[in-house]
Amino acid sequence: MSEFQFLMPDAGEGLTEAEVVSWKVAPGDVVELNQVIVEIETAKSLVELPSPYEGTVASILVTEGTTVDVGTPIITISAADAGGQAAAEVAPPTISTEFAEAVADTRGTVDDEAPGAVLVGYGDAGHVSSRRRARTRAVPPAARQASVPPAPGPVIAKPPIRKLAKDLGVNLSLVTGTGIGGEVTRDDVVREAGQASVFRNIETPEWGDTREERIPVKGVRKQIASAMVESAFKAPHVSLFVDVDATRTMEFIKRLKNSTDFAGVKVSPLLIMAKAMIWAVRRNPTVNAAWTDEEIIVRHFVNLGVAAATPRGLIVPNVKEAQAMTLLELAQALEQLTLTAREGKTPPADQQNGTITITNIGVFGMDTGTPILNPGEVAIVALGTIKQKPWVVDGEVRPRFVTTLGASFDHRVVDGDVASRFLADVASIIEEPALLLE
């Protein structure tokens, strides 16, 4: 009989500790090779760990809810061959590429109270549990009301719309289609999901019996605190703001929504903002750089970060090689980013190596703000809410769709003239998306 101790790996993230969230096995259980045995929570994600051994669980060394350092033994597995002799010795796992990839795959499950995260530009979707529950798709409260009868007749919706509804937990039979012949459109589904989220937040919760609540600083919150303190006090921030007439952007979005090329694809101001950022980066490359004390690294590619507010905290997944994507490819990539974040499945790799970031505080109804830089980057742009305001056009006051762009820069790298030109370039695309055709 041989006993193997499984050590807490670093999950391919370069982190130093992780919390044991839940055990999937108990002492005496027989486990197979690569069977999921435990779920851990790191500073960035929930991760299921597969067993590198097969045999019988001898003992569990770390209780649920305990945070331990990488390299700490967490479980002991006993193994023996059919003849009773010791199984072939396997060295305690130095994480192989294949195992690291498996470990780095995040599979958080959506809580049964809500459908997800807030990705910039896509609206609030409610609460997500950081702990795994039953493998069920989230369903909005409206969809669970047995007293509401389904809409009469068959639901008319294209396959991509049905998939979106499934991903968002929307019951299509309860959605009123606004398309031709009553067809359910993407906007109908997103609106239904958003309304369910809003209704959940109307009720003001009671404070409860305790006068204080103490929340341990760990996991994502600990990582956020560390990153924000490092960014705010290490990088000298400078911020700029500009009001922009976004009327043509809104008209362009409407045309894209009616285009057959973009059928079944989410189109929003975020898409145009993303393309504007990429265009402006090429004209002002130092905003896409990194500071290392010894040198400034200017990246000639764009891994575009999009801030996502989740109940587990702020994460910034990024679209890799965004500069090489067409408008349609970028729209699809942003949508996939949304769904992945909504389900709590954003892998650590998607949160690493970003080069510049967008944050859309407009989704919360805010006009502008002073965003803090994502560590390792030197520029971030905030997109405010887009709403109709009085605007002077050709000497006349007219109602126009107006937004405010706010941007922060690392003044060690980006001088005021470069920062101003960059933000002006972003604004010029929002004002006239046709410039993208240059």
Q: Looking at the annotation, which residues are catalytic?
A: 411
CA distance 425 to 280: 5
* DSSP codes, 349-390: GGGSS--EEEE-GGGGT-----PPPPTT-SEEEEE---EEEE
Which pair of tokens denotes residue 398? 């007219």
C-alpha 398: how far from chain center: 37
Return the closest-CA partner of residue 409 out of 373, 357, 375, 383: 373
Return the closest-CA partner of residue 320 out of 328, 329, 312: 329
CA distance 56 to 71: 21
Return the closest-CA partner of residue 119 out of 280, 381, 341: 341
The CA-atom distances, in angstroms, between 27 and each of 36, 85, 211 are 15, 21, 40
CB 42 within 8 A of CB 15: yes
Q: Residue 34 belongs to what H/E stretch?
A: none
Q: What are phi and psi of 26, to 5 degrees?
A: -135, 160
Q: State the Cα torsion 20-23-24-26 to the nearest 10°.
A: 150
Which pair of tokens denotes residue 115? 């459908």
Q: At what angle do helices 416-431 and 269-283 cross, to 10 degrees?
A: 140
Q: What share of the chain is helix, strand, coil (3-state, %, to 5)?
A: 30, 25, 45
Q: How many CA atoms lie within 13 A of 408 on its CB side?
A: 19
C-alpha 309: how far from chain center: 7
CA distance 213 to 211: 7
CA distance 300 to 60: 48
CA distance 259 to 280: 26
Q: How many CA atoms lie within 13 A of 351 on its CB side?
A: 27
